[in-house]
């Protein structure tokens, strides 16, 4: 059973701080990794994708990938109240049964206080 693990939170940070969200995955063959943001009552929105070891920056967001440790993280700099949402880590797997599918963690709820 391929799994993606995240701390459910809530993670609370003050406005302007750095929020750090972590994710581990079980499938060593995974090559594609994604972070989605989901506001309450809405559908997931893709905010970052990462395919190679190291860091990838996009505005206030930085994704970090370490395939040897099977670990993905998302840093949000200068956190804003509008960043308050659930962040879902997703890992692409390939298998005979599932084809190519995204396996999601349960999500980490982030709360940014002003």
Partner 1 sequence: ETGVTQSPTHLIKTRGQQVTLRCSSQSGHNTVSWYQQALGQGPQFIFQYYREEENGRGNFPPRFSGLQFPNYSSELNVNALELDDSALYLCASSLDEGGVRTYEQYFGPGTRLTVT
Positions that interact with partner 1 (CB under 8 A): 4, 32, 34, 36, 42-46, 49, 88, 90, 92, 95, 97-107
Nearest approach in angstroms of CB 1 to partner 1 is 9
C-beta of 65 vs 105, nearer to partner 1:
105
What is the Cα Rg of the chain in Å?
Answer: 14
Nearest approach in angstroms of CB 114 to partner 1 is 26
Nearest approach in angstroms of CB 13 to partner 1 is 21
Residues in the chain, how many? 114
Please report, in angstroms and rounded to a whole number, the separation of the first and last CA atoms in the chain.
41
C-beta of 17 vs 101, nearer to partner 1:
101
Nearest approach in angstroms of CB 46 to partner 1 is 6
C-beta of 91 vs 112, nearer to partner 1:
91
CB contact at 8 A, 22 and 84: no
């Amino acid at each position: 059973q391929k799994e993606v693990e995240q701390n459910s939170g809530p993670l609370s940070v003050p406005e302007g701080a750095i929020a750090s969200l972590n994710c581990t995955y079980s499938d060593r063959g995974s090559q594609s990794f994604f972070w989605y943001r989901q506001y309450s009552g809405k559908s997931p929105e893709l905010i970052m994708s990462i395919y190679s070891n190291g860091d990838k920056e996009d505005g206030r967001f930085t994704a970090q990938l370490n395939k040897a440790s099977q670990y993905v993280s998302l840093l949000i700099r200068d956190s804003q109240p509008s960043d308050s949402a659930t962040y879902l880590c997703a890992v692409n797997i390939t298998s005979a049964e599932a084809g190519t599918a995204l396996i999601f963690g349960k999500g980490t709820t982030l709360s940014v206080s002003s």
